[in-house]
Homo-oligomer: A and B are copies of this chain.
Amino acid sequence: MTESVITPRSVDYSRWYLDVLREAELTEDSPVRGSMIIKPYGYAIWEAVQRELDRRFKATGHQNAYFPLFIPMSFLEKEAKHVEGFSPELAIVTIGGGKQLEEPLAVRPTSETIIGHAFSRWVKSYRDLPLLINQWANVVRWELRTRPFLRTTEFLWQEGHTAHATQDDALDETLRMLDIYAEVAEGVAAIPVIKGQKSENERFAGAVATYAIEAMMGNGWALQAGTSHYLGENFSRVFNIQYLDVQNEQHYVHTTSWGVSTRFVGAVIMAHGDDRGLRLPPALAPIQVVIVPIWRKNEERQDVLAYARRVRDDLAAAEIRVHLDERDGLTPGFKFNDWELRGVPLRLEVGPRDVRDNCVVVARRHLPGKEGKTFGIPSEGLAARVPGLLREVHDGLYQQALAFRQANTREGIDDVAAFKKHAEEAGGFIKVHWAGSNEDELRLKEETKLTLRCFPVSEQGGPAGRCFLTGQLTNRVAVFSRAF
């Protein structure tokens, strides 16, 4: 089943993605244009992402709150760039309770404005700062071309909104949250990311500076998996968020906002998936260990199942997310494929010989076939050993993704022709010195479909090099790539 219904990535990456979503039962198209249904298995991955992020937000002093879904149009119009960026994408409620509304309401595309309005009441003095708020919510952006998880009309996300006394404090917060996003991407989702600043063209509408984590997907394209914005005084001025300092003087606060959405689940699928289906990082896998019982003769069935249940109960007692596949009428081979498709990190195989020897066979999802198998692992003490095995899968997935990114990142290109040739023939990331203008960047995008993904934070301010486009000397380093 599994191999026949999933289009190989090399044949059609986009088809592969949609096939995996369908066969692993992650999402389903809905009757509402551009809105997806997130099925239980897909939602469980998102819940794990939520859990990991929420814990870190709270540990860094943020509190959750909830603000209205509907935003008066007049609010969105207050910040000029903000409304310019978002107004083409709005869904607008014009009728409520059977009556035409006097002021139409936008369904929130993001909440800077309505939260800014609240902050103007919540902040009075320096004692109220920093104000560190997060919201888990759905947002709506009327996208023309949608793709489940990556770009949908409605999506789920968290949006952090904070206010600070000074620019330094706000910039620290912006980078602190970027670090948390990178930590979750790498330490939880096993996806290596580049932390970088976006170019002016790609900046959030209304931000002074936008930072993002950029990851390489299995086809060499980039995916922006989380963003963190320093908003300066742009929103505090239009919503009048001021505080009295120790000397009793009024100042505008500096605000930030930052978000990770269900798009992150798309990143997990595309960073790790292979032609057999999903490969899930253990921390996000709804099922971390699946047990497949194997028997030939009917008299073996009871013993194998009883033994497999004991193994399951041991692991469950150790808070490992384990599932025993007791389905009748399916071959072990079918079950292997089925759980590989669903990306379960570890498979335990249990047959009559394993029962006799008090052992199990372990197969790791990140290594194919025999390579990933270990025979004769004692069931005694297995629960204590599983976290190490899961860590092995996590590390394996991370190292594979990192090696893939390194193999598909080109440096040392020093003229436009070479840039275009590489873009067309090879793909992946291109890392270059960049001194071009906003217009240069847009023209390059038109000509090559590559966008300036970011200026990697860790690589700025190094030795100067020559910009491949303008020939100017610069120490700004940029990464270009096709992107989702």
Contact = CB atoms under 8 A, between A and B. Distances in A.
Contacts of A75: 31
Contact of A94 (B28, B94, B97, B98): B94
A377 interface: no
A107 B93 contact: yes
Indicate how many identical chains form the complex.
2
Nearest to A30: B68
Contact of A66 (B33, B38, B68, B90): B38
A154 B46 CA distance: 24
A32 interface: yes
A180 interface: no
B140 A69 contact: yes
A96 interface: yes
A121 interface: yes
A98 B83 CA distance: 13
Contacts of A18: none
A285 interface: no
Nearest to A92: B95
Contacts of A88: 97-98
Given A107-B93, A154-B69, A114 B31 contact: yes
Contact of A71 (B32, B40, B46): B32
Given A69-B138, A154-B68, A154-B69, A97 B93 contact: no
A382 interface: no
B35 A72 contact: no
Contacts of A37: 65-68, 118
Contact of A91 (B36, B95, B133, B154): B95
Interface string A20-57: 00000000101111011111100110110000000000
Contacts of A47: 64
A75 B31 CA distance: 10
Contact of A44 (B64, B87, B96, B117): B64
A39 to B, nearest CB: 6
A105 B69 CA distance: 15
Nearest to A63: B40
A70 interface: yes
Contact of A69 (B35, B67, B71, B94): B35
A142 interface: yes
A44 B66 CA distance: 10
A94 B63 CA distance: 35
Query: 6 closest A-B pairs (Cβ-Cβ)?
Result: A97-B142, A40-B63, A35-B68, A38-B66, A92-B95, A32-B68
Interface of A: 28, 30-33, 35-40, 43-44, 46-47, 63-72, 75, 87-98, 104-105, 107, 114, 117-118, 121, 133, 137-138, 140, 142, 144, 153-154, 156
Given A36-B68, A92-B96, 7 more contacts: A40-B65, A43-B65, A46-B66, A68-B154, A70-B140, A89-B97, A92-B94
